[in-house]
Amino acid sequence: MATKTNQKFATITVIGRDKTGVVARITSFLFQQKANIEALEEQVTRGQFSMTIQTSWKEAHFQHQAIAGGLRELAADLEMEIKVRFTEPRRRQRMAIMVTRETHCFETILAALKSGGLKQADAALVISNRRDLEKMATQHNLPFVHIPWEDRAPAEKAVLEQLEKHEIDFVVLARFMKILSPNFVWRYKNKIINIHPSLLPSFPGPQAYRQAYEQGVKIIGVSAHFVTMNLDEGPIIAQDCFHVRPHMTLKEIVAAGQKLEARTLLKAVKLYLNKRLDVYWGIVKEV
């Protein structure tokens, strides 16, 4: 039996207008290439077909050029986008960090990288819709790419191009204050980690602390989760909370929450890197 050390792995994403026979064409090609299909998920939303396939090969059967070339030919024939990312289980994961202007989560991740707390990751790229944190990124010798976000479709296209260019394995949203479309999210299924300032599923959306404060909630928390096509409804990786003291102001609540956000996001990233997470029917389990 093949072991993890002598296998090759890839994630294949397929996106395009729904049509008959797509799954059969692609899986048949993979079988011809002696691939083992470890997981396959597909869905159709308003005529848009999306599929993610996790595959592996015994090293003796792995032909990089034949696989990549065959998938390119299938993409042209099917008139769909087919992307393949070849991965090595033991190599350091290339991480992209997306930020806007809040510093607390970004600073905590940078500190962990500097101290060796994220040994399995290489921070390969910082992307932002603003320039507020450019200096902080460059001080840590991280490539910084500013992508304006007036129009989401071209902005997301530019981000995806950067992620592909830098061979990114997973994305961390360190208080990135823009909503990503299903078209974007599907390409990195269960590989985009976000932090939300509430104990989900309560208080989704951008005003979570204010909503909790106005409703007199006595326990307030944060949730790190995988991003899905439904806003703030992705599988939860880690949570934490604090008790609201009498007469605590909204400003004090936000300050306390931000400390938890940074710690909980970092915990989620570590769990992901340690390969201790499995998503089953939309629920994250530690393995």
Residues belonging to the active site: 232
Q: In three state form, how does the secondary structure of the chain look?
A: CCCHHHEEEEEEEEEEECCCCHHHHHHHHHHHCCCEEEEEEEEEECCEEEEEEEEEEEHHHCCHHHHHHHHHHHHHHHCCEEEEEEECCCCCEEEEEEECCCCHHHHHHHHHHHHCCCCCEEEEEEEECCCCCHHHHHHCCCCEEECCCCCHHHHHHHHHHHHHHCCCCEEEECCCCCCCCHHHHHHHCCCEEEEECCCCCCCCCCCHHHHHHHCCCCEEEEEEEECCCCCCCCCEEEEEEEECCCCCCHHHHHHHHHHHHHHHHHHHHHHHHCCCEEEECCEEEEC
